[in-house]
Amino acid sequence: MNIKILSFVVVLQVTTAVLSAPAEPLYVNPCLGIMTVQNVPNPEDCTRFYICINQQPFPGTCAPGLIFDVLTMACNRAEDSVCIVDLPSPPTAAPASESFENSKLVR
């Protein structure tokens, strides 16, 4: 009987440790499947992008005053560009110059 109780405690402790482990952010290679040289947006920052070379991402940053435009896939003036970033959660109210589409901020 003592062996069964001990086994249950060990299983319970292992299960608890696995369930309570902090969630690590999942890394997604932004260049996966891109076999040529191509720029792709950074999903978290409109002033940054990745240069993909044979599926390898190399970080890039736009010059001051420019953001990465997802329509031209290049840095451009903010007023002439479209940038989409992933948001952790939608805010309660957005400024008049911003709108939300499918949990993505569109400027």
Q: What is the pLDDT of residues 25-49, one digit of tens each?
A: 677 899 999 999 999 999 999 999 9
Q: Is the pTM of this model over 0.75?
A: no
CA distance 107 to 104: 10
pLDDT higher at 59 or 90: 59
- Please give the domain boundaries of the chain with CATH numbers for all domains: 27-106 (2.170.140)
- Sequence-distant (6+) residues with CB within 8 A of 60 are 39, 48, 49, 50, 51
CA distance 86 to 26: 14
